[in-house]
């Protein structure tokens, strides 16, 4: 009799466990499907001009030209209800000066998940398209990827890093998406954002900065068209056969809205990067410590040593060593 009661209880208990496990699975599946359907956790941020302005002002050092052009270009595009083409920006400058950093700032002002959003797609030439002989396959895959993503989410963002190493054929393959067409094969690309990052033009930018410094001008006086910088970058990017844009029809067709120069960073900007990293890591220290870390990075030209060779790229590593 007792054994019978135990047996019945056991059966009821195991049924409850099975039923609750099945319910858990169903609830989880429904949540997943509704999340995917309504992209609940990966939404667009309501665009806020002041927020982007503050983000650029507070966390981007020594890049007054990039800051101003990015703010105008992105806010103009995001508030335009009927853009005639996607936004296409090309960031130029040496290593560690903030090109990826600004792409992330833009992403954080557009998507709730920022650069981690599934609508932000990053392509690194040498990683995603390494083999020359596979260029036709890459072209097909890239076009399919962009088409698929924009058709399901028009406000998608595509970042092409190390653009200088990208095969020109591949660049030309994406050209129709960047143009003024209302639709390409039934898909409109007008809400999408394309950002190209490259070191192309770095020597031109460095020369302009050094010449102006030697002439006693303030860095902040430099503008996009100072000393013909924009035209020189344009020519350099277009003509250098080391640049991925070389022989590409993208520039010819004037589909890039802005060529944005990122200036090489000075000692004072590297210091700001050290302070920002320290704040992120919750480290407090005196000025002497900050200087020791900043001085540990190499500077050029050899005589004046005013510009950081690696920008802020290895600041975190240097900081960790000093701790």
Ligand X SMILES: Nc1ncnc2c1ncn2[C@@H]1O[C@H](COP(=O)(O)OP(=O)(O)OP(=O)(O)O)[C@@H](O)[C@H]1O
CA distance 205 to 227: 10
Element of type H or E holding 17: helix 2-38
Which residue in the set 92, 190, 271, 313 belongs to the binding site for ligand X (CB under 6 A)?
313
Asked if residue 312 binds ligand X (CB under 6 A), the reply is yes
- Cα separation of 230 and 249, whole Å? 19
Q: Are 87 and 196 in contact (CB under 8 A)?
A: no
Q: Are 90 and 103 in contact (CB under 8 A)?
A: no
Looking at the Cβ atoms of 61 and 123, the one nearer to ligand X is 61
- Residue for token pair 């995001």: 78
Residue 98, marked binder = yes
**Torsion angles phi and psi, residue 133, rounded to 5:** -70, -10
Minimum CB distance to ligand X, residue 98 (Å): 3
258-261 and 87-92 beta bridge pairing: parallel
Does 114 belong to an annotated binding site?
no
Query: In this chain, which stretch among 56-64, 115-123, 172-180, 228-236 interacts with ligand X, using CB under 6 A?
Result: 56-64
**Measured distance CA(271)–CA(27) in Å, rounded:** 51
Dist CA 175 CA 193 (whole Å) = 13
> Which residues, other chains included, contact 145 with Cβ-Cβ below 8 Å and sequence gap of 6+?
121
Neighbouring-strand partners of residue 300? 307
Structure tokens that stand for 187 in this block: 């898909």
Q: Is 63 in the site for ligand X (CB under 6 A)?
A: yes
Cβ 312 to ligand X, closest distance in Å? 4
Q: Is 108 near ligand X (CB under 6 A)?
A: no
- Judged by CB, which is closer to ligand X: 63, or 90? 63
Q: How many Cβ atoms are within 10 Å of 123's Cβ, its own excluded?
A: 20
Compute the CA torsion angle 116, 82, 60, 235 (nearest 10 deg). 110
Binding residues for ligand X restricted to 189-218, rule: CB under 6 A? 197, 199
Shortest distance, position 97 Cβ to ligand X, whole Å: 4
- Residue 92 engages ligand X in binding (rule: CB under 6 A): no
Closest approach of ligand X to the CB of residue 88, in Å: 18
As given in the structure block, the two tokens for residue 243 are 């640049």
Nearest-CA neighbor of 169 among 126, 198, 194, 140? 140
Q: Is 112 in the site for ligand X (CB under 6 A)?
A: no
Closest residue to ligand X, based on beta-carbon distance: 98
3-class DSSP assignment, residue 157: strand
Quote the least distance from Cβ 59 to ligand X, whole Å.
Answer: 6
- Segment interacting with ligand X (CB under 6 A) among 57-65, 130-138, 177-185, 284-292: 57-65
97 lines the binding site for ligand X (CB under 6 A): yes
Question: Is 28 labelled a binding residue?
Answer: no
Q: Out of 89, 90, 99, 222, point to the residue binding ligand X (CB under 6 A).
A: 99
Lay out the site mask for ligand X across 256-275 (x = CB under 6 A, - = otherwise). ---------x-------x--
CB of 293 to ligand X, least distance (A): 13
By CB under 6 A, tell whether 278 contacts ligand X.
no
Q: Which residues are annotated as a binding site for ATP?
A: 93-100
Q: Which residues bind ligand X (CB under 6 A)?
A: 59-63, 93, 95-101, 197, 199, 265, 273, 311-313
């Amino acid at each position: 009799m007792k054994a019978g009661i135990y047996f019945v209880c056991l059966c009821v208990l195991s049924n409850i466990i099975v039923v609750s496990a099945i319910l858990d699975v169903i609830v989880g599946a429904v949540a997943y499907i509704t999340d995917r359907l309504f992209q609940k956790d990966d939404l667009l941020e309501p665009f806020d001009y002041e927020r982007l302005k503050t983000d650029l002002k507070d966390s981007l050092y020594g890049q007054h030209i990039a800051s101003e052009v990015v703010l105008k270009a992105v806010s103009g595009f995001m508030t335009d209800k009927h853009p005639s083409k996607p936004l296409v920006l090309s960031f130029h400058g040496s290593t560690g000066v903030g090109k990826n950093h600004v792409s992330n700032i833009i992403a954080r002002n557009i998507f709730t998940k920022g650069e981690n959003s599934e609508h932000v797609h990053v392509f690194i030439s040498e990683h995603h398209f390494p083999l020359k002989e596979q260029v036709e396959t890459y072209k097909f895959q890239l076009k399919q990827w962009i088409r698929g993503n924009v058709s399901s989410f028009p406000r998608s963002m595509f970042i092409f890093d190390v653009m200088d190493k990208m095969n020109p054929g591949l660049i030309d393959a994406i050209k129709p998406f960047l143009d003024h067409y209302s639709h390409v094969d039934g898909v409109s690309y007008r809400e999408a954002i394309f950002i190209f990052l490259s070191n192309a033009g770095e020597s031109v930018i460095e020369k302009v900065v050094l010449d102006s410094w030697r002439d006693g001008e303030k860095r902040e006086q430099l503008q996009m068209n100072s000393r013909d910088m924009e035209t020189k970058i344009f020519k350099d990017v277009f003509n250098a056969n080391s640049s991925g844009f070389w022989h590409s029809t993208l520039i010819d067709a004037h589909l890039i809205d802005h060529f944005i120069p990122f200036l090489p960073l000075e000692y004072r900007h590297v210091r700001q990067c050290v302070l920002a990293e320290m704040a992120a890591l919750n480290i407090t220290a005196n000025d002497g410590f900050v200087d020791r870390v900043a001085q540990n990075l190499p500077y050029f030209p050899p005589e004046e040593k005013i510009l950081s060779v690696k920008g802020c790229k290895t600041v975190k590593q240097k900081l960790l060593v000093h701790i």
